[in-house]
Structure formats: C-alpha cells, structure tokens
Amino acid sequence: MTDDEFSSVVGLLGREPKIAELAMYSVMWSEHCSYKSSRPHLGRFPTEAPWVVVGPGENAGVVDLGDGWLAALRIESHNHPSFVEPYQGAATGVGGILRDVFTMGARPIALWDQIRFGHLDDPHNRYLFSGVVAGIAGYGNAVGVPTVGGEVAFEDCYRGNPLVNVMCLGILRADQLVLGTAGEPGTISVLLGSSTGRDGIGGASVLASASFDEDSSAKRPAVQVGDPFQEKKLIEACLELYQKNLVVGIQDLGAAGLSCSTSEPAARAGMGMDVDLDRVHVRESDMTPGELLMSESQERMMAFVHPDQLDEVLAVAEKWEVDASVVGEVKPGGTLRVFKDGNLVAEVPASSLSEDAPTYDRPYSEPSWLADLWASTTDSSQSPDIGTSLLTMLGDPSLGDPSWVYQQYDHMLFLNTVVGPGDNGNLLRIKGTTKGLAVSTDGNGRLCYLDPRRGAARLVYESALNVAMVGARPMAVVDNLNFGNPEKPEVMWQFTETVEGISQACESLEIPVIGGNVSFYNETDGIDIYPTPIVGMLGLADPLPDRPPRLEAGKAGMDVWLLGPRNGTNLAGSAFEKLVSGHLGGRPTDPHPSTAGAVIGLARHLAVQGVAPVLHDVSEGGLAVAIAEICIRSEVGAAISFSDWHHLFCEDPHRFIAVAPPEAAASIRAAAHGSGVAATRIGSLGGSSIEFERNDRIEGSISLDAVAAAWRGAIRDRMDH
C-alpha cells in the first residue's frame, strides 16, 4: 500500500486504521482485487446484449441459452503463484475458477487452461511446465470437472514469468441463479468448507500485484495449497443448497478471503455485517485478526442464509461432510464490524473496501521502439525449402502435438464432450436438450507485441471462427489480459490498445464481453512479457450438429478448399518468421470486420449443413501448417498448389480450409458465393506425402511419416527424455 492510499484510508475512517483494518484495505485495494489501474479502461468493452443475464462485475458472466437454461463463464489467471510453486499454483487456480462458477448457482461442466512458458529446451521451463500440467490434472481430475481444451505456447518472454490462465463453464436452470448478495438484516453468514489457516496470507498483494526478481522463491508461503476433495464436497453441498432454495446469496473466498466475502456481499446489498472471528473454524491457533481476514485458505464459501433455514443448511453441510460455522449476521447501516475475543477489531464502511478503492489513470504512450520494429523486415525474395520449413515448425512445441498435455487431463467426464481437445474449438452437448455449447480460447503474444490493437481484435475473430466451425453462433466473450508493469507508459499503451481492439471486434460481431480478468506486473527483473490477452469465446449450437467437422475426417480423393482472402503475403509475427527466419518484426495485417462476419457465417453454415467433413482455420503457421495438421490427423497425404510461397506461411485472418468430396463442390461454391466469401479449390487429399506444386511443378514435398513424427515428438520427446 502506498502512502497516498494510506492517507485515503485515514480520510475515509476519520482516524488511523487499526492493524486488522489496514490488513483488509491492503488486500482489497491491491491491483488484483481492485483493478485500480485497469478500471478506467474496462468500461470501453461492449457488455450488453439481449441474452446477457449477468455481465462483468459478478463472480462469473451468465448468458441465456433459451428454454430455461443459462451458462456461466469465467476466466482467471494464476501466473505468479504458478512460477513460485507450479503444482499448487496451477491447482489452486483451478479450484478458484470453479468456485467463481458454482457461486452463481451453476454446476461446473468444463475447464480450459491456457499455459505459456519459456522454451522446453531449458530444464527449468520443463520443470515449470510439467509441474503446472500435473497441478491442473491433479486438481481438475480429482475434483471431477473435465478439462476439455486450452492452449500451450512457448516464448522466451515467459521464461521468468509463465502464464497460467484457466477458464470454467457451468450450466444452470434459470431459477437457480444465485448472486453474491448478503440479503436483508438478520440474514446469517455461514462459512462453509475448509478450515482457515495461515496459507496464502496476502497472496493477492504480495504475489499477484507485484513484479518478480531473483528472490521470488521466498514468496512461496504466499501460495495456497489446494484440496480437490474438499472442493468436490463443497460443490455438491452448495448445489444441493441451491436446489433446495436454501441460500439468499453466496460468495466464494478467493483473493482477500474473509475481507472480500464479507464486505462485497454486504456492499452489494447496501447493508452492513457483524462478523465474529472466534467462530471461524481454523486449522491453527493464535491467528491474529489480520491473518484471519487476509488468509486465502482454499475451498471456502460464505453462504447467506435466512435464520429459519439455518438448520436445514447445516444438515446439508453435515451430509456432505463439509464443515460449517455461523460467523456473522447482516445488519442495517452499511458498517462492517469485526470482533475477536470480544473486542471490536475493525469497523469500516463495507462499501469502502470494494467501491472506494483508488483508481489510477496511469499515463500511457506508444512505445518509442515500435516504429523501428514495424520497419524491421527480413529479405524474403528467396524461397525457403518448404518441406524442411514445415518440419521445423511442426517440431516446435508451440505447433506440435499437445496430447502429452491433454491426455493427463480427464476430458471426457459427464459424457458431454462431442469435440474434445486437439481440434479447432470444443463442442459440449447439454444432455436432455438439443443444445450444444462451443468454446474456443485463443492468444498470440507475438502478434499483440507487434500491434496490440490488431492482434487482440484478430483473437476475437479467430475464436469466433473456431466456434462457428463446430456449428455454433458466437454469443459471449471473456478475456484474460496478461500484461507487464502498468507503471510503464508503454505497457499501459499496450493495455489500452488491446482493450480497444477487443472492443472493436466484439462490436462488429455484436458479441458482448461478459467478464474478464486483468493480470499486471508480469515482469521479471524489469523485462515485461509480450502483451498476452487471451480471448475465450462461447457459442451456442442449437441444434447440436449430428456430425460436427473433425480434423481426422479427411479421406483420399477429397478436395481441399481455401475459404476467404487468399493472396496474403504478410509474415509479420508469424510462426514461420520466428522458427525459420528467427525474426520478429513488421506490422501484422489489420483485420477486416465485414469479411470476418461473412467468413464466420459461412463456416457455421458449412458445419451445420454437414457439407464438409473437415473444417480448419488458418492461424499460427499459416496454410502449410493447417494442411499438415489435417493430413496428420486424417492419416493421408495431400497435393496443394500455390503461386507464391508467402501464401503458404502467411497468417492473415479470416480464412479457413474445408475438405469435402468432389460432389460437394457446387454446394461449397454456392454457399461461399452467397456469403460473399472467395472460395478456391487449392488441391486434394491422397498419397503418403504432402506436396506443394507451383505451375504444375512440385516445389516442396515431405513425407507424411516425417511430419507426423516431428509433430508427435515436439512436446513428448522433450518431456520424456
């Protein structure tokens, strides 16, 4: 806490704060909890649409799926804890995001993880990577929520600061929606779940809102420890409470623990609350009031209960073997009073903790180095060896087979996973309905480093296209904004540009942002990460397609089509430039909103009609990598014609591949024509190698076996040896 912030507290209270009060303000006013640097900019996001039930500001965003069904979606980061202690950092990230979703009354049905590290050739990165994957698996599998997809990426900028983001989707019936409100005076506050201890004291301020240096391992005690078994029981107990209509409101205990879960619900209800810390069930004695208020012990929820229903609530907790204690009571007047050993240890306006946090309109300016970066290009007159380039790219962990990761995650539980990990987007059915939910999460640090506004907008379009390719209409975005130190004007500029890019793209597609998270201070020893926004897109497919397109559905003899703009040559920020040329520079192509909308509509049409067994977007690695991925997954070669080698590796947006039998040609042309999208037949599947032809001459060829081996080994071989 800064001196100015301390003065603000003194001004609010009209006196010097007591120690416990200071503890509460220090965590609640941390960057992590208060969004004090980002809040002035987040109002830019479009957040409204007729189907939005709950927008940003609650624990999770909620949208209406029709027929009385709602979906709740939330994304969070656990970057710094995962660097300090990879297994527990990642595990507790999973636990936290689950609580955000079942706090809303929803059953969590799926998780996604977006994880980024330095290159795997460095043993410390392998340690972090394997620890994070094991932590996600250890917690997610045991808590009984499938991890159905996500992303892995590797860049040197994440070496000292890996990114561990996690997203959770839940579903609920409309009449089970619960909000984080404390209710009327007389309502009882019941603390459910694990006992409170000294783990994670001040994690929100010490870890999540500060930069790293070589002494960061000393922060390990600020990392919490997860217990998925407690969380599983807590989920089932809470769902039974909702089903029996036994709670007025509920709030999870995450960052800032009891401070947050008492003050925020009271403030939302316009009420105050009396809290007795002696009644909190604890795992160690002699904790100070400040420690009790700041502890981030996991797997805890605060339920607000009508006094007449308290016995029933306690009986449900007892059935599920969940500890419960009555710790407080809602009072009129707006004052939060905290007692310990009969003494009043804190007395503050409840709303001052969450609503009076300072905001900083931090200065921002375009980085001085950007113009030079845009001007920096490579000599690309010489054609590369296409086959060798493809081998190099597919053999890199960022583009290689991610199954080493997702085969450690239970991705099938609940029998909803129609399209699981390793495809474009994921598709989950909702049993007992005709509906499916499609989800894609996308990030690309290189593009956003070169041009945050264009890069971020392209992520929105890419994720919408991925969702459309499994037959769904994109309907809501959540974002996780991972950035460096906001006290640097160029980082704040990257941030504001990113918000603008996401907002513009969402506006053009009429998709609301229903929630998000900001993670600043992702810097180590003064070096910031690339600006790395992650976009999570939710789409609704109703009806669920019988046979959604799959990467493995290609067969010899089928035509390969490119849908969308075809003659892009820009390689700025591409995987080709990074992995083959060893260069990062130039300016990525600006997205084109009306083309984006048309291409997304066409993709959805083709998926719903079942015209093409395979649809695949052209993104990282360009056309060549997209074709190779289809060939590897479908176990068949291809012959592809091209006119300029740049076209094969360019990552310009709004393009996808369709693979279909020759008799579907007329349907594809007609659909593309109707959408105003260019359709080009670029080749066909067949044989046992991938061949690239120009003017009827083979200019690049690589055996399917060779690319498949490189792709399969990219992560696996580095981790298993």
Partner 1 sequence: MTVAVVVFPGSNCEHDVVYALRSLGCEAELVWHRDVDLTAFDGVVLPGGFAHGDYLRTGAIARFSPVMAEVRRMADEGAPVLGICNGFQILTEAGLLPGVLLANRDLRFICRPVHLRVESTESILTKMATVGDVLEIPLNSYEGNYTADPAESGRVLLTYSDGAGKVSPATNPNGSMDNIAGIANGAGNVAGLMPHPERAIESILGSTDGRVLLRSFAVSVAAFAEGRPARV
Q: Report the interface residues with partner 1, using CB under 8 A.
A: 134, 137-138, 141-144, 227-229, 232-233, 319-321, 403, 406-415, 417-418, 429, 431, 546, 720
For 21, 227, 623, the CA distances from 101, given in Å and listed in that order, are 29, 18, 37
Considering beta carbons, is residue 434 or 594 the nearer one to partner 1?
434
Closest of 193, 198, 222 to residue 287, by C-alpha: 198
Would you say 26 and 13 are in contact if contact means Cβ atoms under 8 Å apart?
A: no
Would you say 161 and 484 are in contact if contact means Cβ atoms under 8 Å apart?
A: no
Tell me the closest approach of the beta carbon of residue 467 to partner 1, in angstroms: 18
Chain centroid, CA 410 distance in Å: 18
Q: What angle do CA 233, 234, 237 make, to 5 degrees?
A: 85
d(CA 635, CA 614): 13
Query: Under DSSP, is residue 46 helix (H, G, I), strand (E, B) or coil?
Result: coil
Tell me the closest approach of the beta carbon of residue 418 to partner 1, in angstroms: 6
Tell me the closest approach of the beta carbon of residue 31 to partner 1, in angstroms: 34
d(CA 252, CA 127): 31
Q: How far apart are the first and last CA of the chain?
A: 46
Beta partners for 566?
none
Would you say 430 and 562 are in contact if contact means Cβ atoms under 8 Å apart?
A: no
Would you say 155 and 397 are in contact if contact means Cβ atoms under 8 Å apart?
A: no
Considering beta carbons, is residue 168 or 623 the nearer one to partner 1?
168
The verdict on whether 78 is a catalytic residue reads: yes
Q: What is the DSSP letter of 579?
A: I
Beta strands in 179-276 (DSSP E): 188-193, 249-252, 272-276
Would you say 64 and 72 are in contact if contact means Cβ atoms under 8 Å apart?
A: no
For the chain, how many residues are written?
721
Helix crossing, 593-609 with 665-675: angle to 10°?
Answer: 150
Which residues are CB-neighbours of 180 under 8 A, at least 6 positions away? 58, 59, 103, 249, 250, 251, 264, 265, 268
Which of 32, 616, 646, 654 does the annotation list as catalytic?
32
Tell me the closest approach of the beta carbon of residue 706 to partner 1, in angstroms: 21
Which of 78, 80, 411, 654 does the annotation list as catalytic?
78
Tell me the closest approach of the beta carbon of residue 229 to partner 1, in angstroms: 3
Tell me the closest approach of the beta carbon of residue 429 to partner 1, in angstroms: 7
Considering beta carbons, is residue 327 or 427 the nearer one to partner 1?
427
Tell me the closest approach of the beta carbon of residue 602 to partner 1, in angstroms: 24
The verdict on whether 41 is a catalytic residue reads: no
Residue type, 185: P
Q: Enumerate the H helices of 29-122 as residue ranges.
A: 31-34, 39-42, 79-84, 86-102
Tell me the closest approach of the beta carbon of residue 143 to partner 1, in angstroms: 8
Considering beta carbons, is residue 411 or 654 the nearer one to partner 1?
411
Would you say 120 and 152 are in contact if contact means Cβ atoms under 8 Å apart?
A: no
Query: Under DSSP, is residue 512 helix (H, G, I), strand (E, B) or coil?
Result: coil
Query: Under DSSP, is residue 438 helix (H, G, I), strand (E, B) or coil?
Result: strand
Q: What is the DSSP letter of 210?
A: S
d(CA 393, CA 625): 8
Tell me the closest approach of the beta carbon of residue 321 to partner 1, in angstroms: 6
Tell me the closest approach of the beta carbon of residue 140 to partner 1, in angstroms: 10
Considering beta carbons, is residue 238 or 456 the nearer one to partner 1?
238
Considering beta carbons, is residue 114 or 417 the nearer one to partner 1?
417
Beta strands in 567-624 (DSSP E): 614-617
Considering beta carbons, is residue 218 or 415 the nearer one to partner 1?
415
Is the peptide bond preceding residue 543 cis, with omega within 30 degrees of 0?
yes
Considering beta carbons, is residue 545 or 565 the nearer one to partner 1?
545
Query: Which secondary-structure segment (H or E) carries 233?
Result: helix 228-243
Tell me the closest approach of the beta carbon of residue 263 to partner 1, in angstroms: 32
Placement of tokens 């603008």 in the chain: 500
d(CA 321, CA 338): 28
Considering beta carbons, is residue 19 or 412 the nearer one to partner 1?
412
Considering beta carbons, is residue 544 or 571 the nearer one to partner 1?
544
Considering beta carbons, is residue 242 or 656 the nearer one to partner 1?
242
Query: Under DSSP, is residue 606 helix (H, G, I), strand (E, B) or coil?
Result: helix
Q: Count Cβ neighbours within 10 Å for each residue of 257-286 and write b for 16 or more, e otherwise.
A: bbbbbbbbbbbbbebbbbbbbeebebeeee
Closest of 193, 220, 372, 392 to residue 282, by C-alpha: 193
Tell me the closest approach of the beta carbon of residue 246 to partner 1, in angstroms: 19
3-state secondary structure 462-514: HHHHHHHCCCCEEEEEEEEEECCCCCCHHHHHHHHHHHHHHHHHHHHHCCCEE
Considering beta carbons, is residue 235 or 467 the nearer one to partner 1?
235
The residues annotated with a catalytic role in the active site are 32, 78
